[in-house]
């Protein structure tokens, strides 16, 4: 029986985004171990035939001290269990995975779900961060067996030398459950009544962590401008500010926009699928260096047209003019132009939504993505 250890930096993210993949590995005959932070999700995951280990991970603490503490824990766990593959997700688990296995023969896979803030901002400070990140990523790619990235731009940026090309594999996104995210399972009219969306209102929705590089200011500015001409246009922004991130959208900025008739900050919600089902267009002008944002895949699967920044990862979800529009990053006017294009041509929405749904099924469904990862396992 083959065995694999999956490592994440958040129990919540594992529970929401990796648990189905872990179950599919069990269905395929794998013995599956999980290593996640001790943040309350281990018991929920333990009950589905998975063997769960935890480690202590705290943000806003002494990073160097925590680095060595967690590294010791990882080494101990790796020595306790015999696994064929150790597959980690995100920066910190990837670093721990490689460091803890430097002098072992364990097969390590690091999964990079986006390059992050250092590659999103061009200020001197962030260019310095990028230089440091480049050195770390070079180390990780060199000493891992396989490096998985989610978009071609990340692959290009991480191929520091030609000999690394064969080690870097492209798997586009983390997958979406097209059965769960299916507009046909919702009563759209009832949901629009529930959320007090008028019959002539056109609802745009953005689901995101609130940091500046997600294009939040550009989005608010654009819809404030559009609202002067089109009163029936609404924008719902779903998600809260990541207060542990120095680039988070401030609570002051959110409060300043409370009186905006066209823009509503909804905060964290537990009914995102229902909000998507009630919406007309998903809009996401992010220039943050992501892999492929999960929210975009969920919107595709829910048959929503997209307006998306032409930035790495995001631009893989839109075929311009077929299921939405690509817009120039950091541009209020580009957002205004594309939104008005839809407002003046509402007949495009149904066809674009159907195209989005088919794109989700054919290219981004969890069935497709899981099989691509398992194929890498078999070839390692």
SS3 252: helix
Cα–Cα distance for residue pair 183/143, rounded to 1 Å: 44
CB atoms within 10 A of CB 266: 17
What domains are defined for the chain?
3-175+365-379 (3.40.50.2000), 183-363 (3.40.50.2000)
Contacts of 252 (CB under 8 A, 6+ apart): none
Q: What six digits make up the tokens of 342?
A: 């839809």
Q: Is 210 in contact with 253 (CB distance < 8 Å)?
A: no
Among the listed residues 305, 301, 319, the one whose alpha carbon sits nearest the alpha carbon of residue 353: 305
332-344 vs 216-227: helix axis angle to the nearest 10? 50
SS3 87: strand
- pLDDT number for residue 113: 96
Percent of the chain predicted with pLDDT > 70:
99
- pLDDT number for residue 43: 85
Any bridge partners for residue 203, and if so which?
Answer: 234
Q: Is the dihedral of CA 257, 260, 262, 264 positive or negative?
A: positive
Cα–Cα distance for residue pair 8/318, rounded to 1 Å: 29
- pLDDT number for residue 262: 94
Q: Is 49 in contact with 21 (CB distance < 8 Å)?
A: no
Cα–Cα distance for residue pair 341/347, rounded to 1 Å: 11
Among the listed residues 117, 64, 127, the one whose alpha carbon sits nearest the alpha carbon of residue 245: 117
Any bridge partners for residue 166, and if so which?
Answer: none
Cα–Cα distance for residue pair 67/70, rounded to 1 Å: 5
Any bridge partners for residue 89, and if so which?
Answer: 111
User: Would you give per-residue pLDDT tens digits along the chain (380 residues)?
Assistant: 699 999 999 999 999 899 999 999 999 999 999 999 998 888 888 766 889 999 988 776 777 888 899 999 999 999 999 899 999 999 999 999 999 999 888 999 999 999 998 898 888 898 999 999 999 999 999 999 999 999 999 999 999 988 899 999 999 999 999 999 999 999 999 999 999 999 999 999 999 999 999 999 999 999 999 999 998 999 999 999 988 888 999 999 999 999 899 999 999 999 999 999 999 999 999 999 999 999 999 999 999 999 999 999 999 999 999 999 999 999 999 999 999 999 999 999 999 999 999 999 999 999 999 999 999 999 88
- pLDDT number for residue 60: 66
What are the b/e assignments for 10-32, b being 16+ CB within 10 Å? bbebbbebbbebbebbeeeebbb
pLDDT 10s digits, 197-250: 999 999 999 999 999 999 999 999 999 999 999 989 999 999 999 888 889 999
- pLDDT number for residue 48: 67
Cα–Cα distance for residue pair 108/369, rounded to 1 Å: 19
Residue 102's Cβ-count burial label (10 Å; 0-12, 13-18, 19+) is exposed
Q: Which pTM does this prediction carry?
A: 0.94
Among the listed residues 320, 326, 331, the one whose alpha carbon sits nearest the alpha carbon of residue 307: 326
Cα–Cα distance for residue pair 79/260, rounded to 1 Å: 57
Among the listed residues 95, 111, 103, the one whose alpha carbon sits nearest the alpha carbon of residue 4: 111
Cα–Cα distance for residue pair 287/264, rounded to 1 Å: 21
Residue reference for tokens 């064929």: 84
pLDDT 10s digits, 158-180: 999 888 999 999 999 999 999 99
- pLDDT number for residue 380: 84
Q: Is 196 in contact with 288 (CB distance < 8 Å)?
A: no
How many angstroms separate the first and last alpha carbons of the chain? Answer: 16
């Amino acid at each position: 029986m083959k065995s694999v250890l999956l490592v994440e930096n958040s129990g919540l993210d594992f529970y929401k985004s990796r648990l189905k993949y872990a179950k599919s590995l069990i269905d395929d005959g794998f013995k599956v171990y999980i290593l996640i932070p001790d943040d309350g999700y281990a018991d929920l995951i333990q009950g589905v035939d998975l063997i769960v280990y935890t480690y202590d991970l705290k943000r806003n603490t002494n990073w160097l001290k925590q680095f060595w503490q967690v590294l010791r824990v990882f080494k101990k766990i790796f020595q306790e269990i015999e696994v064929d593959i150790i597959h980690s997700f995100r920066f910190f688990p990837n670093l721990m995975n490689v460091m803890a296995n430097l002098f072992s023969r364990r097969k390590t896979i690091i999964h990079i779900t986006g390059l992050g803030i250092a590659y999103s901002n061009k200020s001197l400070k962030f260019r310095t961060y990028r230089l440091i990140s480049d050195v770390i990523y070079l180390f990780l790619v060199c000493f891992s067996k396989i490096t998985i990235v989610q978009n071609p731009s990340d692959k290009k940026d991480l191929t520091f030398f030609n000999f690394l090309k064969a080690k870097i594999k492209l798997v586009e996104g983390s997958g979406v459950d097209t059965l769960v995210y299916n507009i046909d399972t919702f009563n759209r009219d009832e949901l629009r009544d529930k959320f007090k969306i008028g019959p002539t209102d056109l609802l745009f929705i953005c689901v995101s962590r609130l940091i500046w590089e997600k294009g939040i200011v550009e989005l608010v500015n654009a819809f404030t401008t559009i609202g002067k001409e089109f009163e029936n246009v609404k924008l719902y922004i779903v998600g809260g500010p990541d207060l542990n991130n120095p680039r988070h959208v401030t609570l002051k900025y959110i409060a300043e926009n409370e009186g905006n008739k066209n823009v509503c900050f909804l905060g964290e919600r537990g009914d995102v699928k229902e909000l998507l089902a009630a919406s007309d267009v998903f809009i996401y002008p992010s220039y943050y260096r992501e892999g492929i944002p999960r929210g975009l895949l969920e919107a595709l699967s829910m048959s929503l047209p997209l307006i998306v920044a032409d930035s790495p990862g995001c631009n893989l979800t839109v075929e311009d003019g077929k299921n939405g529009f690509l817009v120039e990053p950091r541009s209020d006017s580009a957002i205004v132009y594309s939104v008005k294009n839809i407002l003046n041509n509402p007949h495009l929405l149904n066809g674009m939504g159907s195209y989005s749904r088919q794109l989700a099924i054919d290219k981004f469904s969890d069935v497709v993505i899981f099989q691509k990862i398992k194929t890498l396992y078999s070839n390692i």
